[in-house]
Structure 1
Amino acid sequence: MTADPVSSVLAGAEDATSWQEDFYRDLHQHPELSHQEHRTAEKVAGRLREQGYQLHTGVGGTGVVGVLRNGSGRVVLLRADMDALPVREATGLPYASTATSGADGEGSPVMHACGHDVHVTCLLGAAQLLAAGTEHWGGTVIVLFQPAEEAGDGAQGMVDDGLADLVPKPDVALGQHVMPYPAGIVGTHAGPTFAAADSMRITVHGRGGHGSMPQATVDPVVLAAHIVVRLQTVVSREVAPTDPVVLTVGSILAGTKSNVIPDQATIELNLRTYDERTRSQVLDAVERIVRAECQASRSPREPEFETFARFSLTDNDAGTTEKVTAALTGHFGADRVEDIGRVTASEDFGDLPAAWGIPYSYWAFGGTDPDRFERASREGRVAQDIPVNHSGTFAPVLQPTLRTGTGALVVAALAWLA
């Protein structure tokens, strides 16, 4: 091995990964929803095959895993997610997505609104650089391309499909997410970092009738409205101000016509927490409030609760994160590596290392034009002017985003392999 394996592996990276920008544009233009990532998986497998990785395809449905053995040493798992979202793109980019969820052009619009196309492109670039630089490191690299992160079941689906029997047991698992920070910035944090999440669908029942005769009905629309307002007090009045919690009602569905009082209403909400005790407390509070409001409105039937899209807490191992942070700082410089604190977004990445009981670290890197971010920050308009993940206007700048994400994965992996 060379004295400076990081510099050696990354030497000429810009020329070696010159394909990345075109590859990214293609992925962005052809997004695929959770569990439907067939084209993406095929393109990923083709790239890995060219680099000499042992391939496992169709893991957990559309997951792709590549294994590169390079003598004795540690085993490092690097992960990227592949799925897109049912969002209509409004970026105006020349490579903007016009895809829909239906093969015939019908169905909901689909967009890479969370940056998973960036993740795939960066990990493929890192896989190529590590394969080309095997004389500078020893051990085994596992590159894992996961489906259905947005559904919250993609990582567990790969585990349930026998992932642990397909690859060597990793010593550590590493991953990253592009965020609306300035491009070129990398952010780490030890301990609870990405929140646990629970989505809940609640159906409340009324008694329908004519809008002109409300006295003969039990109006589930009014009932749902009271529930939504009362739920706002859970965070503000039942949870300590020092305990971060987000409770968002994202959907209310009821009725078909202005003068018809419907029989039922459906509410969908999303909860983010960092502590299991708080998680249980808030879920209990939601159920208590819903039942009480139903009783107050004389609802003829008990409400129905369905929990779905649950994400476990991303709790970064302190020692692993310290090692990653030191490696990233040594490469990028202290001015480009920050402590991002707790992030209220959620991830199912932690389900992968949990399958082996191994430590992990998951960090963020920026994708926003630095000048645009600096201007918005100076004017106090970051929240208004900088598009965030899941927005139809979320569009990471190609560079230095791809270089930073690719380099971060290589640097972090070599902290164990070199």
Structure 2
Amino acid sequence: MKKIFNPKKQDWPFILQRPTQTVEDIERTVMQIFNEVQAGGDKVLHKYTKQFDRVELTDLLASPDEFIEAETLVSEQLKVAIQTAKSNIEKFHESQKTSKIEIETTAGVICWQEKRAIQKVGLYIPGGTAPLFSTILMLAIPANIAGCSELILCTPPDKSGKINPAILYTAKLCGITKLFKVGGIQAIGAMAFGTESIPQVYKIFGPGNQFVTVAKQIATKFGVAIDMPAGPSELLVVADDSANAGFVASDLLSQAEHGTDSQVILVSTSKSLMDKVEEELQKQIIELPRAAIAKKAIENSKLIFVENDKIAIELINEYGPEHFIVCCEDEEYYIRNVVNAGSVFLGNYTPESAGDYASGTNHTLPTNGYAKQYSGVNLDSFMKSISFQRISETGIWNIGNTIEVMAEAEGLQAHKNAVSLRLQSLKNKQ
């Protein structure tokens, strides 16, 4: 990891750059595949599944037998772990339910807000080198609690046309029956436009590589909503001498092993801690099965020394990390002052892995600095707020003149007339 000491503020944007590619070529590829999917449907999905996943499928939809078989292949230990995580995630997201908000803004004017579920949602679950069955829990659970009526899941098959058993088991546990063996750009296109097999959805959720991320963003041009721009994973740890260097190194490596384009950063007010963390990284990385991936990610990563907590939090808010771990004596300072982060982990015994799997919070989070304006996935991500109002005769009498004056000032006479006619009818009653 590159060490940086007391960087000047004007250099922060350069130092904090993400290791992402330019998207121009990706955008061209996305539009080409989108156009083909829109025109050719399932035939095109089969074509790209053969090209990218190296397998020819007879059916895109996972069969009931595949779900049954998967249940026998997943160990009892893993089943218990998934069920435990599911319980915690359900508890946290159930607690996010809110009741109807109602208020009388003026005598006779009642306004209220109610939430309704998004009816059709698509869940994208990466396969690749790490099949993220945990992401199914993070997306399907709040979707079910919200009351979404149709859940479509797309995930790429392996070279034998199979889906990882843990993905199938978790999907079934969450009540998903429509699981399609489609990945990448073509999966996003299928959910955006619909095909003979895959229904069109109203909103697409889930992380992915840069191709999937760009595809999701372009899908919004075609009337489909997305959860957020969620790209390569990232972690920032702030730590001082109260931190455990071994723990910090393990957290940095836990994100580095996601992919070669992941980024991890340590910000510290202690040079000695930075040295200890660097030593721990070298020791721990050689034991990892995904060491080659982690090493490449570490090349994109940095150890940054700053003089005090005030400079540290300013730099952190400038970066806007997806995951933010605080291992500092004055953690309350960071709690009070953090404004840009996807999810925050506090103390030496709160690894980022807990949020990835089983503490209850959601791990689908904004990356690439989007934590400055996006929230991570939560219950409200699967819902819409609809406002209602009812105005009585007394109410229209009380606010009618206000509406008339404002409508006339904007030159919208029909708007004014809609009120004036009602007020005149009330006068005629008197």
Asked if TM exceeds 0.5, the reply is no
* Higher strand residue share: 1
- Please report the TM-score for the alignment, with normalisation by the length of structure 2: 0.24
Q: Which has the larger radius of gyration?
A: 2
Highest relative contact order (Cα 8 Å, sep 6+), 1 or 2? 1
* Higher helix residue share: 2
